[in-house]
Amino acid sequence: MDLHAAWIKLLEEAGPGTMMTTAYDTAWIARLAEIGEPIGELALDWLREHQLPDGSWGAEQPCYYHDRVICTLAAINALARRARPSDRDRLHRAEVALGIMTSRLPEDPSGETIGFELIVPTLFQEARTLGALHREEVDILKSLAPLRSAKLAMLPNGMINRLLTMAFSIEMAGSDGKDLLNIEHLQEQNGSVSYSPSATAYFVLYVRRRDPNALAYLRSVAANGTAPNVSPIDVFEVGWVLWNLKFAINSLNQNILDFCQSHLDHLSWSWTPGMGTGFTKNYGPKGGDETSIVYDILNYYGRSVDIDAVLSYEKSYYFRCFDIESNPSISANSHVLGALQQAGFEKTHPTIKKLLRFLSESRTNNTFWVDKWHTSPYYATSHGAIACMGYDDQMASSAIEWILSAQNTDGSWGYYSATAEETAYCLQALAIWKRHHNGQVQTDVLQRGQEWLMQHIDPPYPPLWIGKCLYCPELVVKSAVLSALTLINSF
C-alpha cells in the first residue's frame, strides 16, 4: 500500500467533516413531515427500515445502552406522531426493548451520552403523552431528575443562549419549556442551533416554526432525510487528522507538508487569543480539548499561537472542556499535557504535576483510562500513554503493559469486538513507546497488528464516539489507521 498517497488523498478530503448518519438526529428530521418538509418523510421511511432486530434504534455495534435508549425514544416519538397501521407492531417492539435497555444503563463503561440527563426525561414524558409508552420507567426518571436540576441550576441567568454548550441540547426544553431559551440569541450564522441537526429541528418546529435559515441548514445536512450528530466539524476533523499525522510525518515524503498548509491556515483563522477554538470555526463556546489539540499541532507545524488559551481551561484539580460540565474528560487532560509538552513545560512545573496527579488518580486498576467522549478505553489509554511519555514513563509503561495484555490472538484490539479504530490507537501507542524506549515492544506484536489492520483498513467503521448518541468521524478514524501503519513501517 502506498501510504504517502493515502495520506494525500485523506488531506484532500478533510474539511467540513465526514460524519455518519445517526438514528437520533434522523428521528428529529422525521418530525419535519409535520410541516410538509419532504426530508421528513424520507426520514420516517429510514426509521422504518432501520429498526434493529431487538426493537430498538441506535448503533448496531457496539450495543451501548445510553445510545439505544435515547435513539429509541426519539424514534418512538417521531413515528407515533405519524403512525401508520404497520407501525403498531414496530412501536410495541420498541417499548419492550426500551424496558430492557433502561435497566442496563449502568453497564456502559463511559456513562451517559451528551445531554442524556436533560433530554431523556423530556422524551419519556412526550412518549407517554402520545400514548406510545404504557409502562412506567420510574427508576430512570428518579435518577435523572436531580442531575437535570443540578445542570439547569448552573445556567447563568437561568437562560440558554448560543454561547453555552447546553444550546446543543435545547430539545430538552420540550414544547412547554421555552422560557429556558434566549430565543433571539440561539442561532449560529448558518441558521443552525449549535450545529446540531436535532436541536435545529426542535427549533424550527417548536421555537420559530418554519424559520427559513434553520430550514436551509437542515436541508443542506439532511438532503436525503438522514442527519449526522453534528455538522460541520471542520476544526475537529482537521485538528485530529493533523495530530495523527504528526506522529508519522517523518516517515513520509516531506512534500506532504504542502498538503497541510491550507488546513493549518484554517486552524489559525479559527483561533481566538486567550480562548482557543471549538469543534467548528464559528462555534461560540470554545473547548479545552480542541484548543489543546490545535495548539499542539499548530506549534508542531511551525504556526505559533498563545499558550494562555490552553491555560485558560485550568481548574484546581484538572483542565475543563467547557464552563458547564458535569465531569472532566481524561482524553482532554491528556491532550492538554501534550500541548504543554509542545510548549516546553518541564516535568517539575506545578501544572504538569497537577495533570499527572489527575491522570494517575483517574486510572482504573492503576493501569488504564476510560473517558466520557469515547466508548472504548483504548482511545483514552493510548492517548494518555503517549502524553505521559517523557513526563511519567512509569505511568505510561503501566498503560502500555495493559494494552499489550489485551491484544487478541489475531493481532487486533477491541473492547466490544475487534475494530480498526481501536487497533490503530493501540498500535500508535506501542510504536511510539518502542521508539521512545528503543525496542521494549516486540516486533511480532506490531507485525500481527499491522497485518490485521491492513485487512480492515477501509470504512465503514463502527460508531465509538460519544455525542448525544454514538457517532463516527470517519476521516479522523482513517487518519489514526494510517498513522499506525506508517509508524510500524518506519521500523
192 within a domain of the structure (yes/no): yes
142 within a domain of the structure (yes/no): yes
Domain limit, last residue, from 169, 189, 221: 221
282 within a domain of the structure (yes/no): yes
Say if residue 232 is preceded by a cis peptide, omega within 30 of 0. Answer: yes
Q: Supply the mean pLDDT for the chain.
A: 95
Question: What are the tens digits of pLDDT across the range 77-110?
Answer: 999 998 889 899 999 999 999 999 999 999 999 9
226 within a domain of the structure (yes/no): no
- The dihedrals phi and psi of 132, each to the nearest 5 degrees, come to -90, -15
Per-residue 3-state assignment (H helix, E strand, C coil) for 461-481: CCCCEECCCEECEHHHHHHHH
For the record, the C-alpha cell of 478 comes out as 482513517
Question: What are the tens digits of pLDDT across the range 190-247?
Answer: 999 999 999 999 999 999 999 999 999 999 999 999 999 999 999 999 999 999 999 9
Are 217 and 276 found together in one domain?
no
Are 171 and 237 found together in one domain?
no
18 within a domain of the structure (yes/no): no
Residue 142 pLDDT exceeds 80? no
Are 174 and 239 found together in one domain?
no
Residue 137 pLDDT exceeds 70? no
The three-class DSSP label of residue 201 is: helix
Are 204 and 244 found together in one domain?
no
Phi-psi region of 283 (alpha: psi -120 to 50; beta: other; left: phi over 0): beta
Question: What are the tens digits of pLDDT across the range 392-420?
Answer: 999 999 999 999 999 999 999 999 999 99
pLDDT interval class at 326 (50, 70, 90):
confident
Are 200 and 240 found together in one domain?
no
Domain limit, last residue, from 221, 255, 286: 221
16 within a domain of the structure (yes/no): no
Are 165 and 301 found together in one domain?
no
Rg of the chain over Cα atoms, rounded to whole angstroms, equals 22
Distance, in Å, from the CA atom of 306 to the CA atom of 420, rounded to the nearest integer, reads 35
CATH at 312:
1.50.10.20
CATH at 33:
1.50.10.160
Are 272 and 345 found together in one domain?
yes
The gap between the terminal CA atoms of the chain, to the nearest Å, is 16
Are 143 and 257 found together in one domain?
no
- Residue 374's DSSP bridge partners are 465
Residue 138 pLDDT exceeds 70? no
For the record, the C-alpha cell of 176 comes out as 412547554
Structural domain boundaries, residue 335: 3-11+231-489
Are 342 and 484 found together in one domain?
yes
Are 209 and 236 found together in one domain?
no
Query: Looking at the 3D structure of the chain, how many domains does it have?
Result: 2
Q: pLDDT over 90 for what percent of the chain? A: 87
